Structure 1
Amino acid sequence: MLTMFTNSAAMSSTNSMNRANSALSTAMERLGTGKRINSAADDAAGLQIATRLDGQSRGMGVAQNNIAKATAMMQTAEGAFDEVNNILFRMKDLATQAADDTNNADDRTALQTEFTALNAELNNIMTNTSYGTEKLLTGASGAAGKLTKELQFQIGASKDETLKVNLSGALGTVNTALGKLTASGISGGAAAGNAMLENVTKALDAVGSIRSDLGANINRLGHTAANLANMKDNTDLNLGTIRDADFAEEGSKMSRQNMLMQSSQMMLKQANGMGQMVLGMLG
């Protein structure tokens, strides 16, 4: 039916062109951003899920950095105690040698000189071992180092994912044992050397104990990091499934909607020409 006021063909073509243009704009936006969800209107439920997963993934990424820093800090302390161990081995050698009465006064003086120097280096390691700008073991003038209190490490994205490490007791035992090495020397004769042997042995036991604690926590952090990496990878995969655009699909949609919009424009032009047909009938 030909009418002057209502052109149903033009209206239908216009609506089709608008729908194609809207779908084309959506496909182009997704191809431009690489994301399927660019606003809440695209997928309200998907956006909520993706936001939660993104927050979790970001938290786990920061936690991975926390684990790396915590591991580095404890490895610094463990490395310091490794050197303390080496010094104590040499001090035990000197004490064993001093416990023998084949030494004369000059020998004992030489042994004591080296023993004193090693004690000074022990004090230097315990006082100056630092991580960043903070002393780890014992600060200057006996100030408390970082490991003298309980430490908490955030090893995950949630409130409950924490690791608490308390080495204060073991470190106190080490400080006490090392303090006994300076209380008396090994130059007082075989008996003095023999007594020092026991002190050095106790110091070695104390250092071995705290190194064991450090090693156990370092190993735990290694396993935590591996599990966290697995969790983060799978969370990112899930996030990508929900949020990321499928370029093959969106490219196909863009081509299809572009063709539909062009065909709608052509049909609209044809429909608008129907008015001329009416005028032709009147003339």
Structure 2
Amino acid sequence: MLSLHTNRAALSAQNALRREGMALAVSQSRLGTGLRVNSAQDDASGLQMAMRLKAQSSGMAVAMRNTQNSVSMLQTADGLLGAMSAMLMRIQDLAVQATDGASTDADRVALHAEYVQLSKEVRQTLNETPYNGKPLIRYTVPAPGVADPGTLGEGPLSFQTGADAAETVTVDFRPALGALNVSLYYAIDDGRLSGQPPDGPGTELSTATAANALIGRIGQALDDLGAVRAQVGATGNRLESVYRNLSTMRDNTRAAQGRIMDADYAGETAAMTASQMLMQSGTAMLRQANQGAQLALSLLQ
């Protein structure tokens, strides 16, 4: 039917042009941003899932930095404990030498002088070596009065190893440090315990008998020091494993997010080309449909 008021062919062509115009705009937007989801209208549930994955991935990245910082701190502590171990071994050598019957009283005075200096350095290393602005290992009382403990001695340490609040590694170094504190009190000349005299009894190399007794005490201190180092090393290894696991999980999480959010350039390019061709075809058909009114007028001539 020829009609001047209603041109159904033109309306149909216009409707098709509107649909293809919207599809072309979507394809161009995706190709321009590289994202399949540019707003919640594109994929509401997909956007929600992708945002959760992005937050998880971001939290993992921070947790990875946390673990590396924690490992660095523990490696520093292990280095300090290693230096203390070397000093205690030297003290043990001095005690063994003082025990020998060939050593004179004058020799033992000289040996004791070195023993005192090494003892002070052991205590200084344990109590006052700083890390990030505060003592690192301190557990013993460094001077008369109350002093703040160091990082490893202040309580259970909680290392945040993931994006969720429950993803933590908690380690308490205080039991091992407490045992080391007691054994050092009886092994070095400058030990301190809260409420006790500055030095433990028998911390001298003045006689062969005293030196012989000191050998066993130093051995106990070395054992306790080894226990602290073992706990520090085991914790560092665990955090290294956490780091490797986080790295793998973060890569997979980002890949999952990309599969939701990223645009498929091959598919979007094909869709854009198809939309462009359909718009060209629709424009041509709309031009033909608009000629229907001219045909109606030609009947009146």
Whole-Å Cα distance in 1 between the matches of residues 297 and 131 of structure 2?
A: 91
SS in 1 for 2:246: helix
Percent of residue pairs bearing the same amino acid type: 41
Per the alignment, residue 279 of structure 1 pairs with 297
- What is the aligned length? 283
**Which of residues 176, 181, 196 in structure 1 aligns to 2:182?**
176
Per the alignment, residue 261 of structure 1 pairs with 279
Per the alignment, residue 214 of structure 1 pairs with 232
Alignment of 1:188 with 2:206, yes or no, is: yes
Whole-Å Cα distance in 2 between the matches of residues 80 and 123 of structure 1?
A: 11
Whole-Å Cα distance in 1 between the matches of residues 72 and 45 of structure 2?
A: 41
Gaps of 5+ in 1: none
Whole-Å Cα distance in 1 between the matches of residues 129 and 220 of structure 2?
A: 22
Moved over 6 A (4+): none
TM-score by length of 2: 0.87
Q: Deviation of residue 185 (structure 1)?
A: 4.6
CA RMSD in angstroms comes to 1.8
Whole-Å Cα distance in 1 between the matches of residues 114 and 148 of structure 2?
A: 27
If each structure's helix is expressed as a fraction of its own residues, which one has the higher value? 1
CA contact (8 A) 2:98 2:211 kept: yes
CA contact (8 A) 1:151 1:165 kept: yes
Whole-Å Cα distance in 1 between the matches of residues 111 and 24 of structure 2?
A: 88
Q: Bigger CA drift: 33-42 or 267-276?
A: 267-276
Q: What is the correspondence of 1:1-283 to structure 2 with a 5 Å cutoff?
A: 1-138=1-138, 141=143, 142-148=147-153, 149-180=155-186, 181-182=188-189, 183=199, 184-283=202-301
Q: Does the C-alpha gap of structure 1 residues 42 and 83 become closer, same or farther in structure 2, counting only changes over 3 Å?
A: same
Q: Deviation of residue 262 (structure 1)?
A: 2.2
The one-letter code matched in structure 1 to 2:179 is: T
Gaps of 5+ in 2: 190-198
Whole-Å Cα distance in 2 between the matches of residues 129 and 245 of structure 1?
A: 54
SS in 2 for 1:282: coil
TM-score by length of 1: 0.93
